[in-house]
Amino acid sequence: MGHTITEKILLKHTKLKEIHPHEFISAKVDICLGNDITAPLAIEEFEKMGAKKVFDNKRVVLVPDHFTPAKDMQSANQCKMLAQFSKKYDIKNYFEIGKMGVEHALLPEVGLVLPGDLVVGADSHTCTYGALGAFSTGVGSTDLAAAMITGECWFKVPESMKFVFKGKLGKWVGGKDLILHTIGKIGVDGALYKAMEFCGDTIENLPIDDRLTMCNMAIEAGGKSGIIAPDKTTLRYVKAIKDKRRAGNGKFYESDDDAVYSSVTEFDAKKIEPLVACPNLPSNVKKASELKDVSLDQVVIGSCTNGRMSDMRIAAKILKGKKVKSNVRLIVIPATQKVYLECVEEGLAKIFIEAGGVFSTPTCGPCLGGHMGILAEGEKAIATTNRNFVGRMGHPNSGVYLSNPAVAAASAVKGRIAHPEEVI
């Protein structure tokens, strides 16, 4: 019997000859990741365990991105813990202000994650890296501490679900719409502790940025991971990385023809329109064209889901020569310093500012209700972020709608949820 790509990667990182779904295994990790919220807890546990060093100072990655630049004394102290730990144990991949970015956009950009890797991170959206053909998943802070010491982590081998997308995407439709469509169909617990494998000719023709968006939100369906088999598009992406922190192009795995899946679902991608997830679940999905009566107070374009350069270009294309509705706050947050600089060099920053928006330094910021755009009671926002639970971006009685960058930008112009064709 064959194996899925997920099973192959996990097996390769053990000393076992065979593995099967539901079995508990210990596997070596290629990268373990922490941020300014989760890493302080891991550091405390690390010290309690009496460890004298990390398993590999090039494979432990620390990125202060959630509350940075530090918004208050507590967040400043948490960032300080990362800086001190990195200095003490000579962590080579610690990204301080000026170098940092939103972690799940930063690591692929600098070549820290490669196809075939096994990655753990104390953040639920660590599943992003499956877009490169890696098995990546979120873990708790204590598991991160153990991984930093031993270079290993325990797993229950997940079953895999296959999602086959067929057909050419329509205008203004991208990876965000594909994953919202999926979550809308199966629900926020439809892939609970499953590996969500995305494939089909639609995916084969999908750029890496859109693949990253899809795998990023696997957790919103309860998935243990999201993954896409690496191909020529993946290889081009990996080879093109200028700041490559790991040698080689990784290992390319694919699922066997006789691999076993818990379910196989096919979607006709041609029928998918720009979508919006309404409060208060990522599964509460409707067509953007059906929500024209929803007025807005704030629009956020950015995050580890849709803060990459392609997202910035789409938003700028919509906003160029237009003005944001007077009663709407537009906040644009490039995901990394590289994206920020490219936005400046290409004139996109000017477009955002002249439209009436603000252009921020990279940060998770409002996505988790951290800073840079907290919602007041009764306010509504549309955002290119990944989660819209009650109180996610501020007051419990505020509302967050999730969309792709084109819908978000069009909505900023109209002051209400809008289809891009309404303003282009």
| Sequential pLDDT tens for the chain (424 residues) | 799 999 999 999 999 999 999 999 999 999 999 999 999 999 999 999 999 999 999 999 999 999 999 999 999 999 999 999 999 999 999 999 999 999 999 999 999 999 999 999 999 999 999 999 999 999 999 999 999 999 999 999 999 999 999 999 999 999 999 999 999 999 999 999 999 999 999 999 999 999 999 999 999 999 999 999 999 999 999 999 999 999 999 999 999 999 999 999 999 999 999 999 999 999 999 999 999 999 999 999 999 999 999 999 999 999 999 999 999 999 999 999 999 999 999 999 999 999 999 999 999 999 999 999 999 999 999 999 999 999 999 999 999 999 999 999 999 999 999 999 999 8
Report the CATH number at residue 409. Answer: 3.30.499.10
Residues 311-325: tens digit of each pLDDT:
999 999 999 999 999
Residues 271-315: tens digit of each pLDDT:
999 999 999 999 999 999 999 999 999 999 999 999 999 999 999
| Together in a domain, 308 and 218 | no
**Biggest distance spanned by C-alpha atoms of the chain:** 63
- Of 240, 267, 294, the residue at which a domain comes to its end is 267
Task: State the sign of the Cα–Cα–Cα–Cα dihedral 367, 285, 287, 207.
Answer: positive
| Together in a domain, 212 and 303 | no
- Of 233, 267, 301, the residue at which a domain comes to its end is 267
| Together in a domain, 48 and 150 | yes
- For residue 359, the one-letter residue type is F
- For residue 371, the one-letter residue type is H
Tally of structural domains, the chain: 2
Residues 78-109: tens digit of each pLDDT:
999 999 999 999 999 999 999 999 999 999 99
Backbone angles phi, psi at 160, to 5 degrees: -115, 140
| Together in a domain, 131 and 166 | yes
| Together in a domain, 242 and 320 | no
Task: Report how far apart the first and last C-alpha atoms of the chain are (Å, whole number).
Answer: 52
| Together in a domain, 281 and 417 | yes
399 sits in the region (left: phi over 0; alpha: psi -120 to 50; else beta) called beta
Question: Minimal CA–CA distance to 330: which of 366, 304, 363?
Answer: 366
| Together in a domain, 112 and 177 | yes
Q: Domain residues for 286?
A: 276-422
Contact 213, 175 (CB under 8 A): yes
- Of 267, 298, 313, the residue at which a domain comes to its end is 267
| Together in a domain, 280 and 198 | no
Q: What is the pLDDT of residue 1?
A: 76
| Together in a domain, 18 and 131 | yes
Q: How far is CA 188 from the centre of its chain?
A: 16
| Together in a domain, 87 and 111 | yes
Question: Minimal CA–CA distance to 285: which of 374, 178, 378, 192?
Answer: 178
| Together in a domain, 21 and 112 | yes
| Together in a domain, 340 and 233 | no
